[in-house]
A and B are shown apart, each in its own frame.
Chain A
């Protein structure tokens, strides 16, 4: 398969970026999208040119490192998949593919397709944890948890913090990420204790970092590689508002 790639190139955070066009040829349809970029970079390096910088790590859809806005969609074509899980057979032979970095004021571009997603780490540090003394591992069955609650908490905990929600949202809102973190802990007895403090602290940090407001479009859940539901946003709203009214 042959492709024309329109890729956003930007020297550093302060430089002005722009699109550059590249050709890749003889790509197998079973090549993953990131492997295709590896092939392009190999060609660029052999030609004495600067390779394209892009984020990647586990390449099995669990680390949340790979990003990329491909042909107008976060993580490219298909639903419930990260960029590393996208294969070139998803594209038509001879297609022109536009690749952009995440666009959000809170995710500044570092270089080419790499953005700084440290804002999500800061939100987590504000309250996305439980305070327990580290000691020997407790008995797994010491605190019984209803199956439905455990399932819901695990669905929310599937969030890999990739940033696709804020990158897709027309408001640059991080609500789905914050909601997933709050929800995954709020449904479990260990996390319930600090529920009110967590919701308030994480929303306050999210606002402080310049993320936008949720307008319930549902675009985030449509593009989330882990298909996390906006029902968790409803829970975050409940947690936050009840905490504020209790103050």
Chain B
């Protein structure tokens, strides 16, 4: 069953004397009960606007929001049954940390013992037991962020909205908390949406990731799907570290298939079995395409593509080799060390089956084969 359903959401900010800003366009999204969803994108992509429309601090310019079968986009925030952790923490300054966390529970008139039990439990989870009696002003940003997270998670709500929930935390603590929060959400079957610009966080915490750019939902899928079958050029280049290598290629017909040539340095034969009918039709109609290949799929030391090494970094568990091939930059990632210095010429192997092919409008014509 869909817990949250966004249908045709538009958000336009209008201010006098300035052109209107279209922050979110025709957003359709359905989140299942108990699912954890990440809104991923660079700043200004509309992810926080989306979150605030669900919470009710921003009106929707068009479209509808339903939560648990209730149409909520016209309800005041108080009646939406939504909990939220804010990016700016927004703790109540005159209350202690404990009172801050317990606040909504007290408003809901839970018995005192129950409130104390739940506050202690969530405080242990985010490691703030020792500052429960401090005031928000007296604790660090990272601690405030954890308090804000605890204040949201302690509530009983249909949906939990977390805006950059771990942006201020140290990397080690972030990794620990991610695991704990994920298991808490899963254990209680809580539905959550969180906003982040950190891919690692999105992949670690979320069941599905919604990639947004320019107010438009680019793709809403699992991390594996986003990596293996990116819907368009933006998702392909945005997801993955280091980013996918992208090259312009000319398309010519060859016997039984197509030949994609990148300048005079590389050429790939794509044909027959690897192409379905629609992809073939799209390729036939496109003189120029963009081809992409993940750095992890480039084999170093074999193959026919001659690359002049620009940099060779050993990251402790993998090598990143950046090379120049006829003015185009290619990055390859290999698990072992490679003995190559800048200036050396090294062969790279790019196999046609690993190529993603994108049309002129950025949509994907063919995905790489899953290996």
Please say whether chains A and B are actual partners in one complex: no
